[in-house]
Amino acid sequence: MKFPDSIDMEIEFHKAKPFSIDMWYFRQQRSWVVQLKDEEGNQIGDATYVYSKPEALNQKKRWKEKYGL
């Protein structure tokens, strides 16, 4: 079984087109999580963690504008 190396993962990330944005509250860490998702619901790249709902909504708005969602 061959596992992709970091370069393959980087290329795969750039091929993925954002389809939606998921935002939710992570109670254990007391922070908001904002994630880009592809058409299949898989996370693209790293999630963004912020401390307040307004910050999370601002991040979601920025990504909506950036990716045309």
Give residue-wise pLDDT tens across range 26-57.
999 999 999 999 988 899 988 999 999 999 99
Q: Is pTM, for the whole model, over 0.85?
A: no
Are 58 and 23 in contact by the 8 Å Cβ rule? The answer is no
Are 14 and 51 in contact by the 8 Å Cβ rule? The answer is no
Parallel/antiparallel/unpaired status of strands 43-50 and 20-26: unpaired
Determine the Cα–Cα distance for residues 27 and 9; give it in Å rounded to an integer: 30
Residue ranges of the domains in the chain? 18-63
For the residues 16-35, what does the mean pLDDT come to?
A: 93
pLDDT of residue 15: 67
State the average pLDDT for the chain. Answer: 83
pLDDT of residue 1: 42
